[in-house]
């Protein structure tokens, strides 16, 4: 079910009742879905059972809560089964999926070439020989390579790989106190690697 969106996440029990009623209405006279599996009567029964369980909770009691939770889980299962039936009947036809009362998943925007990570910053920490480097996370990046130089940043030979991380920050330690260091970073993603960022400089405490 990659195309259809079941849409139950984050819904309250009352919201699920409303969703079930909407699906019932949309599918009841829909010629595209002549023999729903499960039948709409099963969906109606599960929806009514949840409504009754919600009403019973007004009197309180732990058993009433358990009954509501069980009724909610049963309705979730029926809705998920109907979503599977819809997909098996109409495939990826988005118009027909929507006509059933379900929604469709949004297609992700293709990720092109990664830009160099922005806003690279190198800052002192409270510890000697340590610098914290942070940068903006890039959409589509799965890994970052951090490079450091303790010489002329224009000389490529002075740069070395300092760390590889999935986060948009890194603490570099075991540095010489009072010495200046340059840093730059690039991102790695499914579309390849980004150019290197501009450098940032800091002196170790």
Residue pLDDT, tens place only, 29-46: 899 998 999 999 999 999
**Reduced to 3 DSSP states, what percent helix, strand and coil does the chain have, rounded to the nearest 5?**
35, 25, 40
Alpha carbons 30 and 36: distance in angstroms, whole number: 10
Query: Are 156 and 149 a contacting pair, CB within 8 Å?
Result: no
- Say how many Å lie between the first and final Cα of the chain, rounded: 55
Looking at residue 108, its pLDDT comes to 62
Element (H, E) at 68: helix 62-90
Alpha carbon distances (Å) from 186 to 16, 135, 172, 203: 45, 10, 16, 21
Closest to 46 measured CA to CA, from 25, 76, 69, 8? 76
Question: Would you identify the CATH topology of the domain 121-203?
Answer: Immunoglobulin-like (2.60.40)
Query: What are the residue boundaries of the structural domains of the chain, listed by start?
Result: 4-104, 121-203
Residue pLDDT, tens place only, 88-135: 888 888 899 999 999 887 766 556 788 999 999 999 888 999 999 999
């Amino acid at each position: 079910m990659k195309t259809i969106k079941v849409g139950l996440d984050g819904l309250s029990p009352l919201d699920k009742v409303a969703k079930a009623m909407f699906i019932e209405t949309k599918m009841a006279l829909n010629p595209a879905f002549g023999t729903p599996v499960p039948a709409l009567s099963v969906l109606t029964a599960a929806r009514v059972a949840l409504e009754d369980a919600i009403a019973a909770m007004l009197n309180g009691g732990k058993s009433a809560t358990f009954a509501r939770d069980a009724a909610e889980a049963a309705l979730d299962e029926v809705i998920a089964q109907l979503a599977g039936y819809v997909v098996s009947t109409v495939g990826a036809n988005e118009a027909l999926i929507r006509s059933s009362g379900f929604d469709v998943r949004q297609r992700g925007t293709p990720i092109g070439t990664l830009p160099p990570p922005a806003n690279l910053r190198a800052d002192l920490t409270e510890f000697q020989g340590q610098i914290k480097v942070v940068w903006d996370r890039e959409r589509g990046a799965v890994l970052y390579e951090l490079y450091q130089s303790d010489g002329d940043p224009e000389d490529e030979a002075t740069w070395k790989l300092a760390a590889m991380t999935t986060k948009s920050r890194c603490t570099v330690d075991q540095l010489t106190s009072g010495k200046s260091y340059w840093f730059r970073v690039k991102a790695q993603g499914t579309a390849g690697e980004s150019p290197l960022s501009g450098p940032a400089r800091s002196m170790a405490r």
